[in-house]
Amino acid sequence: MAATQATDQEYPGDWPGRLWLDGRTPVQVGDFAGQAEAGRGPISKADIPVFHNPAMTGSRTRSVLLLDQCLRENWVTKPGATMRVLDGLAASAVRSRRWLGEIPSEQAARLRVTAIDADATALAWARANHQTHPPCSSGDDEEGDYVDDIDEDFPEHQQGLRFLQGDLRAKVLESGWQWVDLDPFGPPTPFLDTVLQGLARVAVVDITATDTAALCGAAADSARRRYGAMAVVDDLSHDTAMRVLLGHVASVAARHDRAIEPLMAIFDDHHVRVSIIARKSKQEASSFAENIGWRIHNPSADEVAIGVARGLHPAGESDEPQLSVLIPWDAAPGGSFTGRLSGPLWTGPLGKPEVYAAMTAERAVELCALEGERDADLLKRLEIPDSTIRDSQRLATKAVRGLAEVAEVIDCPCTYPVDMVASMYSDITGPPSPTTLAEKLREKGWRAAKDFIAVPAVRTNAPWDVVITTVREIAPTR
Ligand SMILES: C[S@@+](CC[C@H](N)C(=O)[O-])C[C@H]1O[C@@H](n2cnc3c(N)ncnc32)[C@H](O)[C@@H]1O
């Protein structure tokens, strides 16, 4: 593929670097290993001029799909209104440029995106990329010219995007943002307090955390210091990590009279991402603790009964040991919990069924993968080989794998990692297939799906006695 020179502006000294297609958006990045190779990240962020992580392509694909859905369904704006979007820690601004170039033009034309970064060199690369590869593929009008929708309220935006250098924590308060993307190195905690004060009355906040060891409980000191939480390390860690982050975001939001509703949570390889909608409401914010609680691992029958009584655990007819139970904040029983307690954490749904249901491979490919006819000019200009087209389709599909399937059960508090289930009983000699277990549970009339957490698991509303009976029907037993 051919990297391109920027034209009439000052561009970074290392330009043009290497060309990478993130989704179907060209981005020129530093000429270093790990900057333009699928699935690999940079070896050291200190050595590269602008941080770019190709391994986060899937996260950016999901972000394109989520923002597209937000615009189409008018979650935070009136129909047709412009939307103030902040790419808070933008680096090369590839995320901003993907929103503007990959969301269909009718909706993308409503975006007024501000990309902030503290690093002047990163912004130089971002500007050069925006100028060299403007978001014309989606924004063409009938004559083929980009519809540059500059209006009086946003005079600094060029083709939907402006750049601001500085500390996000200072800049975020200048406007009522309707969408904020927070994609830090490590934990998002240093930014949450100010970001949650810089929002419009209704806003989406999309938050990445790469400190998964803290959220999963493996780095206990960091978990306590950053999130005021503890977590047990077992196969439920990924579910726990999403809930710890959501619980923390909910409590910071409540301090600023905002209630949150999760749209989507995901644990993807080395990061957790939670997308929430925040609404200004003292009353709703005051009751945020209704969705905050604890996970007790290896619970007693009495502890399970607390979860059942408060609607956080399916009622069943078994007194047999269970994996875990979610219980409310105010019901934490006394006694020693060493190694048995995770939290505080979010006990409500991890997201909205309609958001997960919209994360389909068809939509991901349609918006975010290259397509010969539509992208003909781009393919020709950058001499993009057919193999890159196929790669973009494969990566778009991979970005949403398993998400639509879980839509029906995302409100269920219980997920059952099959290895853990099998290891609880001596007569079960191996784990069942999660796909078969989910199918069998559905045949029995329960909601069930193979879960999207990184270990094989089934999320279901079936009670434990049904789960374990079904496991015994299909797993190897002695
Ligand atoms: C992980 S990178 C962002 C990656 C980018 N969102 C993407 O999708 O490629 C984090 C960025 O945050 C910037 N940064 C760190 N602290 C900042 C602060 N306090 N204010 C603004 N930018 C900051 C860094 O310069 C870096 O470019």
Question: What is the full per-residue pLDDT of the chain (478 aa) written as tens digits?
Answer: 766 655 556 788 889 999 999 999 999 998 877 777 776 666 677 777 788 888 899 999 999 999 999 999 999 999 999 999 999 999 999 999 999 999 999 999 999 999 999 999 999 999 999 999 999 644 444 444 444 555 678 889 999 999 999 999 999 998 899 999 999 999 999 999 999 999 999 999 999 999 999 999 999 999 999 999 999 999 999 999 999 999 999 999 999 999 999 999 999 988 999 999 999 999 998 888 899 999 999 999 999 999 999 999 999 888 888 999 999 999 876 766 778 999 999 999 999 999 999 999 999 999 999 999 999 999 999 999 999 999 999 999 999 999 999 999 999 999 999 999 999 988 999 999 999 999 999 999 999 999 999 899 999 999 999 999 999 999 888 8
What is the token pair recorded at 363?
């939509």
Q: Is the CB of 119 under 6 A from ligand 1?
A: yes
CATH 1.10.10.10 fits 213-263+271-347, yes or no: no
Closest protein CA for atom 9 of ligand 1: 52
d(CA 192, CA 205): 10
d(CA 185, CA 196): 19
* Type of residue at 218: A
| Atom number in ligand 1 closest to CA 190 | 19
Query: 414-478, what's its fold?
Result: Phenylalanyl-tRNA Synthetase; Chain B, domain 1 (3.30.56)
Instruction: Encode burial over 414-440: b for 16+ CB neighbours within 10 A, e otherwise.
Output: bbbbbebbbeeeeebeebbebebbbbb
d(CA 426, CA 346): 33
d(CA 175, CA 204): 14
Report CA-CA distances (Å) from 194 to 172, 173, 253. Answer: 7, 7, 10
- Check residue 337 and give its pLDDT: 73
- Check residue 269 and give its pLDDT: 80
d(CA 205, CA 199): 9
Report CA-CA distances (Å) from 256 to 18, 261, 278, 281. Answer: 43, 15, 10, 9
Question: How close is the Cα of 270 to the center of ligand 1, in Å?
Answer: 17
Q: Is the CB of 440 under 6 A from ligand 1?
A: no
- Check residue 137 and give its pLDDT: 46
Q: Is the CB of 51 under 6 A from ligand 1?
A: yes
Q: Is the CB of 122 under 6 A from ligand 1?
A: yes
Residue ranges covered by each domain of the chain: 1-183+352-413, 213-263+271-347, 414-478
What is the token pair recorded at 278?
């925040």
Closest protein CA for atom 6 of ligand 1: 90
Question: How close is the Cα of 31 to the center of ligand 1, in Å?
Answer: 19
- pLDDT tens digits, one per residue of 100-142: 999 999 999 999 999 999 999 999 999 999 999 999 644 444 4
CA end-to-end distance (rounded Å), the chain: 57
Give the max Cα distance, the chain. 74
| Atom number in ligand 1 closest to CA 183 | 6
Question: How close is the Cα of 164 to the center of ligand 1, in Å?
Answer: 12
- Check residue 147 and give its pLDDT: 47
Q: Is the CB of 29 under 6 A from ligand 1?
A: no
Q: Is the CB of 167 under 6 A from ligand 1?
A: yes
d(CA 139, CA 381): 17
- Check residue 151 and give its pLDDT: 67
> Model pTM?
0.94
- Check residue 146 and give its pLDDT: 45
